[in-house]
Structures are given as C-alpha cells and as structure tokens.
C-alpha cells in the first residue's frame, strides 16, 4: 500500500468513524504524512514501529524541525488516531502511539483588539461596492458572534435567523450551538442579503450565506485574503481569529459569566475559555478598590 492510499483511507476514517471535522482530519493527515515519509527515509516499515521508533521520530522533530510543544502535542494526537485506525484494520496488533504522553505546552495569551481597533478595522471596508457590503456583513458577524473562519464560511442560509438575531453554528466535531448577534451585524446582513447576494448568485441555488463574485461559496482562503487587505489599510495588526478572541474578552470585561462565554464559543472544556479571563492592571485595581473592604481606620486612631 502506498503512502498516498494509506493517507486517503486514514482521512476517510477520521471523518466517518472518529467524526472529526474536515479541517481537523486534514490537520491530522498532514501530521501523519510527515511521520510516514520519515519512516520511508529511515527505511522503517510501518508494521515494525514500536514506541522506540516514535521516540526517535519526535526527537528528530524537535531537534531538526524545531517544532514547539504545541505542535508535538498535535502530532501525538494524530499518531494516536493513526494507531487506532491501524489496529482496527489489523496492520498493528496494538496502538503503540497510545503510550505517548503529550507535553503540557504553555499557551500564550491571545492577542486582543480594543473596541476602537475593531471599529478602525471594519471602517476601512469600502461599502460603496457590493463586495464591500458583503465583507462588512461578514466581519461584523464574525466579531459579533465570535465565529471561527470555517464556521463563517460554512454558515447556511437556513441557519441564519435575522428577526431573532440568532445563528445556528456547526463548530468543531460538528457540534451545534446557538449564538445571538448584534444590531450592527443584523443591519449589514439585511443590506447584503437584500441588495448584494441575489445579484451574485443569480439563478444558482447556493446554501451558504457568503458567496464570492461569481456566486459560489466564499472559501476560507478567500475570507483570509480579504481580511489581509483590511489589516493593511487600517494599520491594525490582527488575524481573523483575533476577532474571536476580542469577542470573548470584551464579553467577559463587560460582566458576562465564564460558562456563558464558553457556550457562545463552543468550547467543550471550560479550561479553554479561561484563557480569556486575563485583565489589565487598571481593571485589577478598580476591582480591588470596589470589592475589598480593607482596614478602615477610625477618626482619631
């Protein structure tokens, strides 16, 4: 069996058996691809792999490829899934990758934009053009709902409820969640759906909300390229995912509880959401002054 055939079958298994999203399956496939070609270069048969070979492989990854602990952790998850697949197909007797422990990688705090920076970023969109109206609706919605780029690209018309200002979002692992959005996002969406989208799709039946100039679904790459232009024009250093980080941080700063933010973001683990609880020194001082009674001296003491 060639590496290409094995990768194709593994990818299919991830989607159909393990129920991973296409994005996650592709990420795992890339990790496994690197491993399989390393085995080929080292002249090691896949059937003969033991924990010793895996340790050698990850030593090579860290020393020669200079990958960080987060990447190692992702690669180990991918190889565990590969091992599970190989056991089910009788290519391995046991999943030797299951013995590997993922490093506890420290996660840097996410970059967050201020409200002024978000407004500056969105204000440079040329809304005098049809595609500008589309982009304003798109990025307003991403910020207003804390969407991942894949969630925005895959959003269906049937899951957009304008009057109720609600989205039904299909996130990682095809998990479904309901997310409200603001008045500004609603206004731009109404403009786009009424005056722009019909002229782009013409007679086509396209289920996705956001489409490109030819009326086809707007791809993740297309969204990313359009955002890069806004970054350049506004002078605000950012990524699309930064809008999601900013959404979460602004909600928490405004007083929303952590579990509600977890639900809105679609995090399965509350620990993932706690990364947004960082606050600046001024907030700490104000909170301390407001809530800590301290030691009040009486007059004359």
Return the active site residues: 148, 172, 241, 244, 267, 276
Q: What share of the chain is helix, strand, coil (3-state, %, to 5)?
A: 60, 5, 35
Q: Which of 30, 27, 28, 39 is nearest to 1 (CA)?
A: 39
- Maximum distance among all Cα pairs of the chain, rounded to whole angstroms: 89
What span, in angstroms and rounded, lies between the C-alpha atoms of 127 and 79?
47
Q: What is the 3-state secondary structure (H, E, C) of 188-210?
A: HHHHHHHHHHHHHHCCCCCCECC
DSSP structure class, residue 96: G
- How far is residue 179's CA from residue 193's CA, in Å, rounded to a whole number? 19
Instruction: Check: CB of residue 19 under 8 Å from CB of residue 173.
Output: yes
Any idea what the Cα angle at residue 79 is, between residues 77 and 83, rounded to 5°?
120
- Range list of β-strands (E), the chain: 160-161, 166-170, 176-180
Whole-angstrom Cα distance, residue 84 to residue 18?
10
Residues facing residue 208 across a β-bridge: 156
């Amino acid at each position: 069996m060639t590496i290409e055939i094995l990768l194709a079958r593994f990818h299919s298994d991830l989607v159909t058996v393990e129920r991973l999203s296409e994005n996650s399956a592709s990420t795992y496939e890339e990790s496994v691809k690197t491993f399989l070609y390393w085995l080929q270069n080292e002249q090691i048969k896949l059937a003969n792999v033991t924990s010793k070979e895996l340790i050698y492989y990850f030593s090579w990854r860290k020393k020669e490829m200079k990958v960080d602990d987060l990447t190692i952790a992702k690669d180990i998850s991918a190889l565990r899934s590969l091992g599970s697949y190989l056991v089910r197909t009788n290519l391995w007797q046991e999943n030797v990758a299951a013995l590997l422990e993922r490093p506890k990688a420290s996660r840097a705090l996410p970059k967050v934009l201020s409200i002024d920076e978000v407004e500056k970023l969105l204000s440079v969109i040329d809304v005098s053009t049809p595609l500008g109206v589309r982009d304003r609706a798109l990025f307003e919605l991403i910020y207003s709902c804390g969407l991942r780029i894949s969630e925005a690209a895959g959003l269906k018309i049937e899951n957009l409820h304008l009057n109720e200002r609600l989205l039904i979002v299909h996130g990682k692992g095809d998990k479904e969640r309901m997310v409200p959005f603001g008045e500004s996002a609603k206004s731009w969406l109404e403009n786009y759906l009424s005056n722009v989208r019909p002229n782009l799709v013409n007679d086509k039946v396209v289920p996705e909300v956001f489409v490109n100039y030819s009326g086809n679904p707007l791809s993740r790459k297309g969204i990313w390229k359009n955002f890069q232009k806004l970054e350049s024009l506004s002078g605000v250093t950012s990524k699309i995912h930064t809008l999601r980080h900013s959404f979460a941080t602004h909600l928490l700063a405004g007083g929303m509880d952590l579990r509600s933010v977890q639900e809105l973001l679609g995090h399965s683990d509350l620990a993932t959401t706690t990364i947004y609880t960082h606050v600046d020194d001024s907030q700490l001082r104000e909170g301390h002054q407001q809530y800590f009674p301290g030691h009040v001296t009486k007059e004359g003491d």
